[in-house]
A = this chain, B = another copy of it.
Amino acid sequence: MAVPLQVTTNPTLNHPFVAMLRRYAPLNNGDIAALSRILDRKIAVKKGKDIIVEGYECKGLYIVESGFAVRYKLLHNGGRQLVSIVLPGDIIGFPACFFERAMYSVMAIAKMTLHYVPIGAFADLCQQSPSIATAMIWFAAGETALHVEHIVDTGRRAPLERVVHFLLETHARLRAVGCASESSFEMPLSQESIGDAVGLSAPHVNRMLRELRIEGLIAMDGHEIRLLDRAALQILGEFQASYLARHPIPGCVQKRPPLRQLA
């Protein structure tokens, strides 16, 4: 649950959000100072509390320092669709606060600490620091890749494949923020919520998990899931972890690549 901290002179550098940005663009001292100012105040949110509510105006971003949340939308027909799981380093309010009103809700599913950034302050930050703005574009590209995989999951994969893909993705993302070991993790969602994420009913999620257990691909102990046969799972769920890791920004980390024109 807790993100492992390694002590450095500047606590800002340890923040998962800053660490994420720095994977894409080298930030100078001015950038770091600006981020420190943005991140100075913390908000504590209890498990189960709504952070963004569909239909209401959202005036800023909430940068996640620790804890988990879910983005979701309630439908007229009584259904609920989970859009994504929010992890440390993620941004709540993207893209809600860029619109007149939020089109979905975000709820904490564990105790969280957040930093609130008014959208105006965020826009100023981007205007003043091109490196941060550019890193944010790279971040957004990663979010998009995640959502695209989710569309493929719910749209065209078979139920068993969906569940496997969802488990592997969740494990990989948790692991990337230090919240999972190499081959096991604590699933933060109930089976009903998993169903809401991948577009299945809770009983059917249960059937799929049972099948995976019988086949010896996973083991479950409460919410702890152990991945027993990673290779088989990756084939079954057609899971390529590459969509979770972006390139660094060229020209920042390395020399600009040669121009090439494709016709």
Contact = CB atoms under 8 A, between A and B. Distances in A.
Contact of A242 (B99, B152, B251): B99
Contact of A196 (B75, B81, B104, B156): B156
Nearest to A100: B242
B243 A99 contact: yes
A71 B161 CA distance: 21
Nearest to A238: B76
B155 A199 contact: yes
Contact of A261 (B100, B116, B199): B116
A3 interface: no
Contacts of A141: 94-95, 98-99, 140
Copy total for this chain: 2
Contacts of A80: 156
A247 B133 CA distance: 18
Contact of A77 (B77, B126, B161): B161
Contacts of A240: 103
Interface in A46-102: 59-60, 71, 73, 75-77, 79-81, 83, 94-95, 98-101
B140 A134 contact: no
Max chain B C-beta neighbours (<10 A), residue from A150, A156, A198: A156
Contacts of A157: 75, 77, 79
A35 B154 CA distance: 38
Interface of A: 41, 43, 59-60, 71, 73, 75-77, 79-81, 83, 94-95, 98-101, 103-104, 116, 118-121, 123-124, 126-131, 133-134, 136-138, 140-145, 147-152, 154-158, 161, 196-199, 238, 240, 242-243, 245-247, 249-252, 256-257, 259-263
A118 B257 contact: yes
Contact of A154 (B73, B199, B238): B199
19 contacts: A77-B157, A81-B151, A83-B148, A95-B140, A95-B142, A98-B141, A98-B145, A103-B145, A103-B243, A119-B250, A120-B251, A123-B251, A124-B256, A129-B130, A137-B137, A140-B140, A143-B144, A151-B154, A154-B155
